[in-house]
Amino acid sequence: MSKVFSKLEDIDRRYYYWAIFLILAVPFIKPLGMPISIKQSTRDLYKGVDQVEPGEVVLIDWHMSVSTWPECLDGLVAELKVLTSHDVKIVITSISVDCEMSWNKVNQLVPALRDKYEYGKDIVFLGYYAGGEPTNQQMAIDVWSVFPTDHFKTPIAELPLMAEARTANDYAIVLTTGENEIVWVNQWWTPYGVPVGVMGIAMKGSALQPYYNSGDIFGLAVGVRGGAEFELLIGEPAGAVTRMDSISLSHLSVVILIIIANTGVLYNKLTGGKK
């Protein structure tokens, strides 16, 4: 008996790697469709995005490389669907060097960006910027000084949208995707009062909660769950909702593995076995 418990305490990792792989495959073969409750912070994000008036300009900052797509892309697409349905004008910047990949991807996934929006007039992709927080600060004063051209090397003066979106005061809200939220709070919300909404990675949820509670961030949705909640709020369940079943099973598997490992620990403790 003690041998069994000792083995439980130290299972070869290859076994549970296979177990996790097979468990994660289940929902893709047969979706479970677990109900997903929606957090207040996601509702607030949706409300903030939904309240932007037609013709107003929203700045979206991507700190999202392709590796972050599974976590953040679906939420971003849902946000863009809301914004485009309201005819909101959009300016996009990024601090990820592969931002062009994300640009191409959202253009595939949000039909309105291709069919309804005219580049330069309704939407502009400014692309990558370096320099960290001083750059965000300078953008608040004059976006043109940081981006003399857009990502496709079009002079910024030739883009009609940028004539009306030159300083922080010209923007209704800022939406961040991935990370880099706090610099926008520091440089756009605190001095200029431009509200900041976050579609972040799950890992940052805890760190951002104080900013949401204090009102420095008007809405917060993190990880696949945040994206799934946003998809449900707009009534278009898509990739993130599908992935939530895998999240459910993986989380449950981790908890079961922890319980199995600790059964061995507990047994050995009670019987005075291996320490």
Partner 1 sequence: MAFIKTKGFLAVPLIIAVVMFADYFIAVKEVASLAGILRTWALVISSMALGLGVVNLVRVHGKNIYVRKPGMWIFSTVTLFTFTVVFLAGVLAKQSDLWNWPFQHVYTTLQQTMYAATGFYIVSSAYRAFRARNVDATLLLISGCVVALRNAPIGEAIWGGFSVLGDWFMDVGQLPGYRVFAMVTGFGIIAYSLRVILGSERGFYGGRRE
How far apart, in whole angstroms, are the C-alpha atoms of residue 262 and residue 186?
A: 45
The residue to which tokens 């009306």 are assigned: 164
Angle CA(50)–CA(56)–CA(57) in degrees, nearest 5? 100
How far apart, in whole angstroms, are the C-alpha atoms of residue 79 and residue 59?
A: 12
How far apart, in whole angstroms, are the C-alpha atoms of residue 228 and residue 63?
A: 19
Among 63, 81, 89, 225, binds partner 1 (CB under 8 A): 225
Residue 29 interacts with partner 1 (CB under 8 A): yes or no: no
Residue 209 interacts with partner 1 (CB under 8 A): yes or no: yes
State which residue, 35 or 235, has the beta carbon closest to partner 1: 35
Name which of residues 95 to 154 contact partner 1 (CB under 8 A): 98, 100-101, 129-132, 134-135, 137-138, 141-142, 145-146
Number of H helices, E strands in the chain: 14, 6
Angle CA(75)–CA(79)–CA(83) in degrees, nearest 5? 170
Q: How far is the CB of 104 from partner 1 (least distance, A)?
A: 9
State which residue, 50 or 98, has the beta carbon closest to partner 1: 98
Among 82, 109, 202, 234, binds partner 1 (CB under 8 A): 202
State which residue, 55 or 134, has the beta carbon closest to partner 1: 134
State which residue, 3 or 13, has the beta carbon closest to partner 1: 13
Kind and range of the H or E run holding 99: helix 99-109
How far apart, in whole angstroms, are the C-alpha atoms of residue 110 and residue 104?
A: 10
Give the interface with partner 1 as residue ranges (CB under 8 A).
11, 13, 16-17, 20-21, 34-37, 65-70, 98, 100-101, 129-132, 134-135, 137-138, 141-142, 145-146, 191, 202, 206-207, 209-210, 213, 223, 225, 244, 247-255, 257-259, 261-262, 265-266
